[in-house]
Structure 1
Amino acid sequence: MTSQSIPPPPRRILSLPAIPPCESVSPSALLSSLLSLAADVSSSDSTPARCPTHRRAVREALRHVAILSTFFADIAGSDLPASAVLGLSELHVTLQRLGHLLRDCSRRGARLWILMNSGRVLSELRVLLRSVAVALDVLPLDSLALSSDVRDTVSLLSRQAWKADLRPDPADERAAEAVRSALAAFAGAVPPDGVELKALLRRLQVRSWSDCGDEIAFLEEQLLDYSTGDDGEAVLLGNLTGLLVYCRATMFKADGVEARKEPRLEEQRIGGLNPEAFRCPISLDIMAEPVTISTGQTYDRASIVRWLESGCLTCPVTGEKLRSAEFVPNSAVQRIINQYCHYNNIAAAGSNSGSRKRDLAKTSSPQSPAAAGATRMAVAFLVGRLHAGSDGEKNRAAHEIRLLSKSSIFNRACFVEADCVPWLLHLLSTPDPSTQDNAVAALLNLSKHPSGRAAIFEVGGTGLVIDAVSEGLKAEAKQNAAAILFYLSSVEEYRKEIGEIPGAIPALVHLLRRGGYRGKKNAIVALFGLLLSPGNQLRAVAAGAARALVDLLGDEREDLINDCVGVLAKMAERQEGADAILAASPDVLQSLVGVLQSSASRSGREYCVSVMLSLCDSCGAKVVGLLEKMPLLMPALYSVVAGGPPHASKKARSLVNYIHRFHDQEDFPSAAALPPPPPAAQDRVVHAR
């Protein structure tokens, strides 16, 4: 990725940062920059036509900028006194901030929020216009070579800027009142006035499903900022989000849902990233704040700071002596990590329950009664479309449910309570690929909720999900269906019955062999969940799971390899599984040693040791004799013994003892009586999407 393709870091709305000119700037250079800045502020992006609200105030601000632009052009090329620098510098800062404010007023996605924060917008604009007046008063106008007309106009502008009377447009006040009326209706469980809502959306220039989606996405992003801060602002954001969710569900048709044959290119690119590349080489954890040092290597800020403070002045990766102890934030990597976390619906790196980046999907309750009422009404409308709509309406409803059920736990609970699950399961047998894809994805989101898992299982939907794994019309539908099985397998009763369905495990093994990266990933975790039921071990062996997993040990993606050895560790706990692993490939032990030696994952190394320990325990001298001849094994084991967590260290010591006893004794028992791997080996491998 080149630097040209990376967008600038996002600026929080109505934050108006400005960089003052340096003190040594020449008047001519400053004037040239002011001309460019004034032209930028007056660009088409911030014209009143592009601002649905505050049009009179925006028009007044642009009139001030136009006069200033004429003023700058009139004094261009003339000798400016040094005393003019102070006033011009103040104008430079003010124009930067004014440009930010006008762009916020015209910003797509933020229009409803700007409307409901009208008082703050007008207050900021008054401050900026008075800053213009202050700067003009500071300027030595009598010392500047100005035409009389321009001098008079600038003097008049200064007086007007001091007295600027900026008030809300009457149409804006009516629109804001319509919002308050709708929220009151939602809080009382009464449908709002549809005519008023349509007039509101016209005023905001929200003309399509996509426009409405942009507004919702903006509000949800803002809610992350306020979820642990200003409760009043969080309530407002929740209310506005609920209002727009209702409008999008009931008033618009989704744009091009039927035409969405494959995941968007951006989703494919982000979803296919290897998360191991995001790990800090020092801590091996996902980087929360990546920074780049003078050698070009990137580390997590906290880790490299500790490294430098300990007196190490070399690059941890290359060993090169650092030319400087300074580092710079790597915003490109930071944004990619954040996008990956958002795409996979997991908490952003370095987040915690009290952080600004708290995962929105963990919000289990609405912000207010109005937000709850709006959501329930939207849910009821969409479930009604699933029940009685046309084929196209059912597809659009499933698509909307897919989006809303991804955003919060409360939304998922509402859909389950509204009996949405049976209607979505019915759509799994549709011949339309888009409808099936949306239905499977919606069911996946609902399966993340305990009541959603119960609803799928109790209505007999497990068989339909398995059919989608094996016969899904799109690759995305197959992989999401496998992820549903993973969540169902988290319940002991369900995993037992899933395994007893004849095609369940073979379907996952087939996806493991033939699926793409995400399909393989989800098949692996689903298999792991099913193997927690002892009766499914033999079924997995019979389906050829061992061979499919061993074949993936040569994959290029380290996270996929680590997941595979986790499942192999579970299979190897039983004699039948151990035999199947050894029979899968003559090079299986060599592959495991290679993973142990090269893996950067602590859990991956522990799983490798667990597999080899179980193979020794089950197959005795046949395995230990082969391991004893591998020179790379012992250094890797000693590394785990010395630096691994207690469970992994204990297993590694047991394996070392096996090899030493084989080396020292002629008559090695066929099956040594060592304890099985500790329960830590049964930890979940990965999180399915």
Structure 2
Amino acid sequence: MRSFQIRLFCVSELHLAFQKVRCLLEDCTCDGARVWMLMKSERVANQFRVLMRAVSTALDVLPPGLVDATDEINGHVELVHRQARKSRFGVDPNDKRVLEVLVSVLKGFENGIVPDKDNVRRVLEYIGIRSWSLCHKELKFLDSETGLVSSSEENRELPELSSLMGFVCYARCVLFDVVDGEASRQSDNNSGSNGVLGGLNPDDFRCPISLEIMIDPVTIETGHTYDRSSILKWFRTGDSICPKTGSKLKNTELVPNLVMRKLTQQYCSENGIPFAEAGHRNRHVKSAVLMESLAAEKAMKMVASFLFNMLAAGTKKAINKAAFEARLLTKTSIFNRSCLVEAGVIPNLLKLLLLADSWTQENAIAALLNLSKHSESKAVIMENGGLECIVDVLKKGIKMEARQHAAGTLFYLASVEEYRVLIGDNPEAIPALLELIKNGTDRGKKNSLVSIYGLLMHSGNHWRVIVAGAVPLLVNLLTNCDREDLVTDSLAILATLAEKSDGTIAILRHGALDSIVKVLNSSTSRLGKEYCVSLLLALCTNGGTVVVAVLVKNPSLIGSLYSLLTDGTSRAIKKAGAVIKVLHEYCERRSSGSMAPVLPQERYIHAW
């Protein structure tokens, strides 16, 4: 019995050790982990040494002759035993020498010293990185690891990871003249996620409390997911219940929902949603001021200076490559944007918009879209005549992708009140946005819709949007578009236009009432329903009995309104109650024979 227990213990220890060896080997051979493994070579060697010692100890304890197996298997066991006992795992001398070069480059970055290209190339060639695509793969791996480490309690490796990202980023931009393979054309695509995202409702990415895209999704005890900041505010009010189910919570522990965060990022990227940094990790907020290491900070500033020089005086090929690098670097990192703005790349990028090369134009406008999210860049763009260049791309861009990027850029510029006025004053801007809504891709439609919505924050643009023909396009989207987020954006614009009598008249003249009620009855979007009921209330207020008389005849409307009172957002509940009150008062006046017209006779219009 005792021998059996000994054998069982030894085999269990061996199984555990080999499982750890397998995991360690998988980590060492992970795609894109070469420079990280070089940096961690001493630690990896120590881990192998510990695991082989565990294997050797387990086999030492295992009594000879107790392994009931063939001679061949026993021979393998003995071979493993000898190798585990004799193996000396240490860092290869060549690894040590190259690692010293890498560390010296990183220290040079910290001191503001531009590294010798030969030293950078020596490190990359030693670990087998000889192309732009392999270098880019290393950068993506490091970025992924940084995200995992920054979201955990143990983040001591963050400065090291950040420094290596600076090194690899510098190497990718400076050493490689050619973007090989399809990497350049896949920079904004995540085709692998289409199947997953196709089965999700756009509202799934919004926090049930704030109705905003979840930046940091966390799951509570009931299994429901909320944005961290929103649910923490909820708990601070003393509510220890689930906002969605109303059930009492035994604990208020928050579990990061990494899958939802990744899906949210993919969704925003694929659909061109230019809302404020949706899905970005919290570490990016910090990186707006400072990177996680001095080496990374200085390396990025060197990269920005290099790209400025290439854009200003490089060959045609080098200029296109520099524009593409600027596009990639500014896609997610606020710090990178600030470095490139400070380096002065914006005027040179604006000049590229006028070129006849489609790929250069697309890279330049995509980079400008990313840079326009930075607070200081908007003024630089406008002061350098950027509005006319961007509108020109929006109207006549060589590729549809360039046009939709231009629409997104206008959205960010329109966040400044002064620039909303200037964009509206440009006679081609709003018509070009509407043309993209009519004939663009879904992403182009999305960017144009949110841009117009932003422009409407300036009241002087209301009549321009109406005169340009926005209303029939938006009403058509309500009835013929399968994308619920586009329908919701259309409703948001119509609700804003309906706040003024001219907007109400235009909406009613195009027979929108029936479409609005149908969306209210069928939509699964809480935000969409909120805009629906806001729109109906504005139409009732400005359209008077003409509108109300039509609405009271719709038998399905009142049920949808009452449903909102129990399941709508706080704003939707308030507006639905107001519409119900208007309908009830109309019915009471009609039954008592005391009807009075709300609109002057000359403004009487047909609702259908």
TM-score range, shorter chain: 0.7 to 0.9
CA distance 1:488–1:470, shift in 2 (3 Å): same
Q: Aligned residue for 1:559?
A: 485
Contact 2:540 2:548 in 1 (8 A): yes
Q: Distance in 2 between matches of 1:148 and 1:158?
A: 15
2:44 matched residue in structure 1: 121
Q: Separation in 2 of the partners of 1:624 and 1:360?
A: 49
What secondary structure does 1:573 align onto? Answer: coil
Q: Which residue of 1 aligns with 2:329?
A: 404
Q: In the alignment, which of 380, 389, 402 is matched to residue 464 of structure 1?
A: 389
Q: 1:531 to 1:267 in 2, by over 3 A?
A: farther
| 2:267 pairs with 1:340 | yes
- Give me the whole-angstrom Cα distance separating, in 2, the residues matched to 1:501 and 1:593: 35
**Among candidates 412, 416, 419, match of residue 491 of structure 1:** 416
Of residues 212, 224, 237, the one that matches 2:161 is: 237
8 Å contact from structure 2 (residues 274, 447) kept in 1: no
2:391 corresponds to 1:477? no
For 1:180-206, what per-residue CA distance to the aligned partner results, in whole angstroms no more than 9, with x for missing partners? 111121112111122111111111111
Which of 579, 588, 607 aligns to 1:664? It is: 588
Q: 1:305 to 1:149 in 2, by over 3 A?
A: farther
CA distance in 1: counterparts of 2:444 and 2:272, whole angstroms = 17
Structure 2 counterpart of 1:578, from 504, 520, 523: 504
Alpha-carbon distance, 1:671 to partner: 3.1
Choose from 112, 116, 120 the match for 1:197. 120
Question: In 1, Cα distance between the equivalents of 2:269 and 2:473?
Answer: 30
3-state SS, counterpart of residue 330 of structure 2: helix
Counterpart amino acid of residue 168 in structure 1: V
Query: Unaligned stretches of 5+ in structure 1?
Result: 1-79, 312-328, 674-689
- Greater alpha carbon shift after TM alignment, 462-471 vs 278-287: 278-287
One-letter code aligned to 1:442 = A
8 Å CA contact 1:490, 1:529 repeated in 2: yes
Query: Are 2:92 and 1:169 equivalent residues in the alignment?
Result: yes
For the aligned residues, what is the CA RMSD? Answer: 3.6
Distance 1:103 1:262, change over 3 A: closer
1:315-394 correspondence runs (5 A): 336-337=263-264, 339-340=266-267, 358=282, 360=284, 363-364=287-288, 365-394=290-319
C-alpha contact (below 8 Å) 1:273/1:340 kept by paired residues? no
Aligned counterpart, 2:552: 628
Q: 1:512, 1:519 within 8 Å by CA — same for their partners in 2?
A: yes
**Shift in alpha-carbon separation, 1:85–1:629, aligned structure 2, 3 A:** same
Q: Within the alignment, does 1:99 sit opposite 2:17 as a pair?
A: no
**Paired residues for 1:395-544 under 5 Å:** 395-544=320-469
Aligned-partner residue type, residue 439 of structure 1? A
Aligned-partner Cα distance in 2 for 1:345–1:616: 34
- Residues of 2 paired with 1:411 and 1:419: CA distance? 13
Distance (whole Å) between structure 2 residues aligned to residue 118 and residue 340 of structure 1: 37
- The answer for the alignment partner of 1:591 in structure 2 is 515
Query: TM-score if structure 2 supplies the norm length?
Result: 0.84
Q: Deviations over 1:645-669 (max 9, x none)?
A: 4433232222222212221224544
Corresponding residue number in structure 1 for 2:604: none
Offset at residue 138 of structure 1 (A)? 3.4
Count of residues in Structure 1 that have an aligned counterpart in Structure 2: 565
Contact 1:261–1:434 (8 Å) recurs in 2: no
Change (3 A) 1:579 1:559: same
Question: Does the 8 Å CA contact 2:274/2:411 hold for their aligned counterparts?
Answer: no
TM-fit CA distance, 1:456: 0.9
Give the SS at the match of 2:346. helix
Report the CA distance between 1:360 and its aligned residue: 3.7
- The one-character-per-residue Cα deviations of 1:324-355 (angstroms, maximum 9, x if unpaired) are xxxxx99988864564356679999xx999xx
Question: What code does the residue aligned with 1:195 have?
Answer: D
State the distance in 1 between where 2:487 and 2:132 align. 41
SS of 2:180's partner is coil
Residue identity in the other structure for 2:38: L
Q: CA deviation at 1:476?
A: 1.4
1:84-107 Cα shifts (integer Å, max 9, x gaps): 444333323222221221222222
Deviation at 1:112, TM superposition (A): 1.0
Contact kept? 1:281, 1:299, Cα under 8 Å: no
Is the alpha carbon distance of 1:481 and 1:631 closer, same or farther for their aligned partners in structure 2, counting shifts above 3 Å?
Answer: same
1:265–1:240 Cα change, 3 Å: closer
| 1:138-161 CA-partner distances (Å, limit 9, x unpaired) | 333323467889868855753653
| Farther off after superposition, 87-96 or 422-431 | 87-96
Structure 1, residues 625-684: CA drift from partner, whole Å, max 9, x if none? 1111111111222222344344332322222222122212245444389xxxxxxxxxxx
Q: Give the gaps of 5 or more residues in structure 2.
A: 232-240, 250-255, 601-608
Superposed displacement of residue 241, structure 1? 0.5
| TM superposition shift of 1:551 | 0.6
Structure 1 counterpart of 2:131: 208
Distance 2:409 2:421 in 1: 15
**SS of residue paired to 1:143:** coil
Correspondences of 1:291-302 after superposition (within 5 Å): none
User: Is the contact made by 1:483 and 1:523 (CA closer than 8 Å) also made in structure 2?
Assistant: yes
Residue 598 of structure 1, CA deviation: 2.5
Alpha carbons of structure 1 residues 141 and 511: separation in structure 2 relative to 1, 3 Å: same
Letter in 2 for 1:397: A
Secondary structure, counterpart of 1:406 in structure 2: coil
Tell me, in whole angstroms, the C-alpha distance in 1 between the residues paired with 2:207 and 2:112.
54
How far the C-alpha of 1:372 sits from its partner, in A, is 1.2
Greater CA deviation, 494-503 or 663-672? 663-672
DSSP-derived class of the 1:448 partner = coil
Q: Is the 8 A contact 2:197 2:263 kept in 1?
A: no
Q: Residues 669 and 464 of structure 1: is their aligned pair in 2 closer, same or farther, counting only changes over 3 Å?
A: farther
Report if the CA contact (8 A) 1:278-1:337 is conserved. no
Letter in structure 2 aligned against 1:239: S
Determine the C-alpha separation between the residues in 2 that align with 1:175 and 1:548: 62
Which of 572, 577, 580 matches 1:653? 577
Whole-Å Cα distance in 1 between the matches of residues 365 and 199 of structure 2?
Answer: 25
Aligned mate of 1:279, from 200, 204, 229: 204
Look up the equivalent residue of 1:190 and give its one-letter code: I
1:480, distance to aligned residue in structure 2 (A): 1.1
Q: TM-score w.r.t. structure 1 length?
A: 0.74
Match of 1:36 in 2: none
The partner residue of 2:561 within 634, 637, 652 is 637
Amino acid at match of 1:133: S
